[in-house]
């Protein structure tokens, strides 16, 4: 997915950096202390030791003539597009992908640090090297200091950065600069970060006060509850040993959830132990938590929420116990998450009754795993975090121009087995899907066709248009190949939906495709009509397996008609009013079901820029602006224009927070974990569509920090957890 033009920045802007001294080939400035705050800065262990890398390897000798250096970019055999040991050619800009990142976790707030490194390049490659602070400015506006270097000889780079008022971690990075064609590779060595001294003008940290409860009198949770009625009586709080009970008649439905919830209470350190008991159906539970399912009174909720009664729940709280009544096991699980968060937030639950619901069917995170590999551990962490905040979908883009991320028997040559590339086996996907189901999360795979397929058409030229700009779907054998492929992906994930992409294909008016569609739709049929016909066909094939189809909006300029009418069984995923697409409301008026994945909220994993440049960086979107502009799930992106709302009663049924990785594969998982947290928490509050618990983002920020990640969220500690195995 490409970002609207108003969000693009120039190559010159990317060369900008924070206001600091830079020396190339010079000596580093004096530093306070001789020991760098980094383990193995010269890669002398022969490993990446604590860092993350992508399309990188270690080579000898290093800059000093001995030891090791990191090579970023793939190792090619002569002029071949095939890297040694790889099975895929790499398209133009894909050649220059490659990075290494080392975290520095011993830093102090409001302190000046100096970063040094040695770099060199081959051919016309350009290496970007520097240091990044994800929390340099209050409320998650990061800063970076970096420089682009093209030099055939080892060159010393020096950068300085002043940490923010809450910074505890820096990231030293080196990657190939993809802005322009690069033959690569590049090399980096001798990373070091030294403390220089205190900041000349230290910035005050925002207040971190969570004493106030939510506006409705209930402790702040994310998302906030819809309704709370206070009763007379003492508050409830768990004792050291918590009892979670389920009725005998509901044990088959609820016991697994109850055991998982018990583990979470212990992992959150809210209790010493938690025991799950099965009790008689008519027994009175005097202590702890009773988990049940049953009817939840939603008479005060909108009709769309009543249709999602299975996800609603009620809490009845007194000083002895909390009774959770879920509309289903999912609702009961959500009720338990509210209890857990409320205890983290306030330490106790006031006596009273909570009734909570949502009117949004799809609430989730979209991850661009087509362009880069994500570890299964990182994905499982995100699933835990989604469930913790009552989100229920994870959309994985598993195929883009960089290859296929999952094992396939239909397109085996496209599976990414490049060194430090990475893909998942079908068995691994089965395990991930089962894990997600335990947390009431559904995974929807996206396999983008017919565009975003330049690598596809190199690997499988027999399916390509003559210009190799995409698939030649005028041919029955090509359409059948795509159908087998998307059906295989649906079966691999066992999903109720498959997202077929359908974005940014600019060759629908190709003479072959026009001739094909006009052959059955008449002489006035357009390339867009043929495009619709392809997706109607693929949607019909998926329907044979009982699966629904999603697609992006941007190439469908006439949702209401045309010589070929797009099937209303296809759900439109709306990302921007771009490429002649009409406003979101036009798809609703034409009878489509609509979900959003707004370009305004893109968490683009571009290389870090400066604190003042918010566009196309890992700092986008700024959470305070996200809170203000996208506080409702009925807001959609205007692309180059301002965002706008669609009616709340319409068939707009959810929103995804989108992570994209168009340019580099730079952002390591531990950096993304840090930058994603505040943005995904604002999204969770918005998409549940309950009243805001506090007045603004500044008041929300202390709570999202205090509530933190889901219990059991595992921070990565070694490269073994971060990088794919060599295949």
The residues annotated with a catalytic role in the active site are 504
Two structure tokens written together for 425: 């086996």
Using DSSP, state whether 589 is helix, strand or coil: helix
Instruction: Please say whether the beta carbons of 603 and 676 come within 8 A.
Output: yes
Our CA angle for 484, 487, 493, nearest 5°, is: 140
Instruction: Please say whether the beta carbons of 274 and 310 come within 8 A.
Output: no
Instruction: Please say whether the beta carbons of 122 and 189 come within 8 A.
Output: no
Report how far residue 273's alpha carbon sits from residue 234's, in angstroms, rounded to the nearest whole number: 23
Nearest Cα residue to 331 out of 306, 366, 302: 306
Report how far residue 381's alpha carbon sits from residue 359's, in angstroms, rounded to the nearest whole number: 26
Instruction: Please say whether the beta carbons of 594 and 582 come within 8 A.
Output: no
Could you count the other beta carbons within 10 Å of the beta carbon of residue 88? 23
Two structure tokens written together for 641: 């224009």
Report how far residue 103's alpha carbon sits from residue 118's, in angstroms, rounded to the nearest whole number: 17
Q: Which residues contact 292 (CB under 8 A, 6 or more apart)?
A: 246, 247, 250, 254, 323, 324, 325, 326, 332
Two structure tokens written together for 109: 């707030």
DSSP 706: H
Two structure tokens written together for 152: 């055939």
DSSP 212: S
Could you count the other beta carbons within 10 Å of the beta carbon of residue 200? 8
Report how far residue 59's alpha carbon sits from residue 68's, in angstroms, rounded to the nearest whole number: 5
């Amino acid at each position: 997915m490409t970002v609207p033009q108003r969000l693009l920045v120039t190559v010159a802007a990317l060369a900008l950096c924070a206001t600091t001294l830079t020396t190339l080939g010079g000596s580093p400035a004096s530093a306070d202390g001789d020991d760098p705050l980094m383990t193995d800065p010269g890669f002398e262990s022969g490993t990446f030791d604590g860092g993350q890398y992508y399309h990188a390897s270690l080579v000898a000798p290093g800059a000093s003539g001995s030891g090791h250096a990191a090579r970023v970019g793939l190792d090619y055999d002569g002029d071949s597009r095939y890297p040694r040991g790889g099975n895929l050619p790499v398209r133009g800009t894909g050649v220059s992908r490659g990075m290494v990142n080392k975290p520095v976790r011993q830093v102090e707030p409001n302190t000046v640090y100096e970063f040094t490194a040695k770099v060199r390049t081959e051919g016309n490659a350009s290496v970007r090297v520097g240091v990044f602070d994800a929390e340099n400015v209050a409320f998650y506006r990061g800063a970076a200091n970096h420089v682009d270097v093209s030099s055939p000889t080892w060159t010393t780079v020096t950068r300085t950065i002043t940490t923010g008022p809450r910074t505890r971690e820096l990231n030293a990075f080196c990657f190939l600069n993809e802005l322009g064609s690069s033959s690569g590779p590049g090399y980096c060595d001798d990373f070091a970060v030294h403390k220089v001294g205190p900041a000349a003008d230290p910035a005050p940290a925002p207040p971190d006060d969570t004493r106030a409860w939510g506006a409705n009198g209930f402790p702040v949770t994310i998302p906030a509850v819809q309704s709370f009625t206070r009763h007379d009586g003492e508050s409830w709080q768990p004792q050291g040993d918590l009892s979670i009970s389920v009725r005998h008649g509901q044990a088959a439905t609820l016991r697994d959830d109850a055991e998982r919830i018990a583990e979470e209470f212990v992992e959150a350190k809210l209790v010493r132990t938690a025991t799950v008991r099965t009790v008689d159906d008519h027994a009175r539970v005097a202590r702890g938590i009773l988990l049940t399912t049953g009817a939840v009174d939603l008479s005060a909720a909108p009709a769309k929420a009543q249709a999602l009664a299975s996800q609603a729940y009620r809490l009845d709280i007194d000083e002895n116990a909390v009774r959770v009544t879920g509309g289903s096991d999912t609702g009961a699980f959500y009720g338990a998450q509210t209890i857990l968060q409320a205890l983290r937030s306030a330490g106790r639950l006031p006596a009273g009754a909570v009734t909570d619901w949502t009117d949004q069917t799809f609430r989730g995170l979209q991850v661009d795993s087509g362009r880069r590999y994500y570890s299964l551990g990182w994905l499982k962490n995100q699933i835990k975090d989604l469930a913790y905040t009552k989100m229920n979908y994870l959309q994985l883009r598993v195929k883009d121009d960089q290859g296929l991320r999952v094992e396939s028997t239909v397109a085996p040559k496209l599976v990414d087995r490049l060194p430090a590339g990475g893909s998942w086996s079908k068995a691994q996907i089965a395990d991930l899907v089962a894990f997600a189901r335990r947390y009431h999360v559904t995974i929807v795979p996206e396999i983008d066709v017919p565009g975003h397929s330049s690598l596809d058409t190199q690997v499988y030229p027999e399916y390509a248009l003559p210009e190799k700009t995409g698939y030649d779907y005028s041919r029955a054998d090509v359409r059948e190949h795509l159908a087998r492929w998307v059906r295989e992906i649906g079966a691999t994930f066992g999903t109720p939906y498959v997202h077929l992409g359908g974005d940014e294909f600019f060759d629908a008016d190709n003479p072959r495709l026009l001739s094909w569609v006009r052959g059955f739709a008449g002489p006035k049929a357009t390339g867009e009509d043929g495009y619709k016909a392809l997706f109607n066909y693929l949607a019909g094939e998926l329907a044979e397996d009982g699966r629904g189809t999603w697609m992006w909006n941007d190439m469908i300029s006439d949702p209401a008609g045309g010589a070929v009418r797009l099937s209303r069984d296809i759900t439109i995923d709306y990302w921007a009013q771009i490429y002649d697409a009409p406003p979101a409301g036009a798809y609703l008026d034409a009878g489509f079901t609509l979900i959003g994945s707004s370009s305004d909220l893109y968490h683009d994993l571009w290389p870090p820029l400066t604190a003042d440049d918010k566009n196309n960086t890992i700092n986008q979107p700024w959470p305070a602006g996200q809170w203000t502009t996208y506080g409702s799930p009925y807001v959609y992106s205007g692309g180059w224009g301002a965002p706008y709302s669609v009616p709340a009663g319409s068939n707009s049924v959810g929103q995804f927070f989108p992570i994209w990785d168009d340019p580099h594969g730079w952002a390591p998982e531990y950096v993304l974990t840090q930058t994603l947290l505040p943005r995904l928490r604002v999204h969770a509050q918005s998409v549940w569509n309950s009243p805001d618990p506090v007045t603004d983002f500044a008041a929300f920020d202390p709570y999202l920090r205090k509530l933190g990640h889901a219990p059991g969220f595992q921070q990565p500690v070694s490269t073994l957890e971060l990088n794919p195995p060599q295949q």
